[in-house]
Amino acid sequence: MNKREFLRILGLGTLGLTSGSLFLNRCTKRKAPVKNWAWITAHRYSSPDEWKRIFEKMKKHGIDAALVLAEKETIETILPIGKQTGMEMHNWIITLECRDEEIITNHPDWFTVNRDGDSSLEKPPYIPSYKWLCPSRKEVQEYVQSIVSELADIDDLKGIHLDYVRHPDVILPIGIQPKYNLVQDKEYPEFDFCYCPVCRELFKEKEGIDPLELEDPPTSAAWGQFRYDSITNLVNQLSVVAHQKNKMLTAAVFPSPAIARKLVHQDWPRWHLDAVLPMMYHKYYNEDVEWIEKVTREGVESLSSNTKLYSGLHVSMLTPAELAKATEFAFEGGANGIVLFTGTAMTDEHWESLDSVLQNT
């Protein structure tokens, strides 16, 4: 036990006398951090020297693993730099939100359909790029498996990191709704996916009814579970592919199991992952920094011992002092470490503040 931890526990001693259960909960739920991560988008850097500088800086300040959003060719060029600097390398990929022009052009039937019958390809919700593939379609499953399998063949790549592995937001986070002049107090048809022919037929085979014939589809437990399972089944297929080639599989997910299920039909505690990286972007939910401890604890308690949790922190939402607090709250909630969104958003002041926490854990 280091000095900081001893003083923290000593300071809670009086509280423990009057609130023993709270004291016990905080002490027993905390996990020692195993590693810290950063999300990085490859378009920020173009030369080997730039990559070397950012990896060295992150490593110096306690970041162990980089999740790089890049095409396969780019990942292959920077892997030697990651190896040289001691940075664990993962390829961050966009999973079901489709940005592949070949798929958009040649496979329009692969895209999700909302309760009004509109395809997300032809009428994307919220923003023009919100074109989503349906996870129930075998062709989509095979397409995503092929991407993961190809990446898993890269020798020095430690793992594949899934993002946008969900349905489109049926309800936006409360702090984002005003940006789109929306009040989403329930699941409205134009944002409610997926009612494509494949999903409808599969559900009918299982439950004996077309989901569109349900009196109120969003309130149907069976229909809700079907949509959870459509994502869970895909992720668990990808887990087999990655693990067969000795690669880690991780995913960026919504901040707590309850929020994830409600907003995007993610049931991530059931996913066969090496780690989940929940995006605990507190301002999207009109919450204070302290909320990070709450959702971290909810996530940790929902997972099996085989899956680690790293709390995702939105650097641009946090002053340097708040970043230190957010990191401490993540550790108090039991996180195995933190994830920075993004590593390149960190100022020297942010790094200095983060050092003050990581050097004492």
Please report whether residue 54 resides in a domain: no
Task: Say which DSSP state 97 is in.
Answer: B
Please report whether residue 251 resides in a domain: yes
Please report whether residue 308 resides in a domain: no
Please report whether residue 111 resides in a domain: yes
pLDDT score for 2? 40
Please report whether residue 226 resides in a domain: yes
Please report whether residue 284 resides in a domain: no
Please report whether residue 321 resides in a domain: no
Please report whether residue 21 resides in a domain: no
CATH number of the domain bearing residue 166: 3.20.20.80
Residue 31's nearest CA partner among 268, 275, 345 is: 275
DSSP 269-302: GGS--SEEEEB--GGGGT--TTHHHHHHHHHHHH
**Domain of 213?**
96-275
| Contact (Cβ atoms closer than 8 angstroms) between residue 280 and residue 313 | yes
pLDDT score for 33? 54
Residue 142 burial (C-beta neighbours within 10 Å; 0-12, 13-18, 19+): exposed
pLDDT by 10-residue block (mean), the chain, 361 residues? 36 32 36 82 88 96 97 95 97 98 98 98 98 98 98 97 98 98 97 98 98 98 98 98 98 98 98 98 98 98 95 98 98 97 96 94 73
pLDDT score for 44? 80
What is the number of structural domains in the chain? 1
pLDDT score for 54? 95
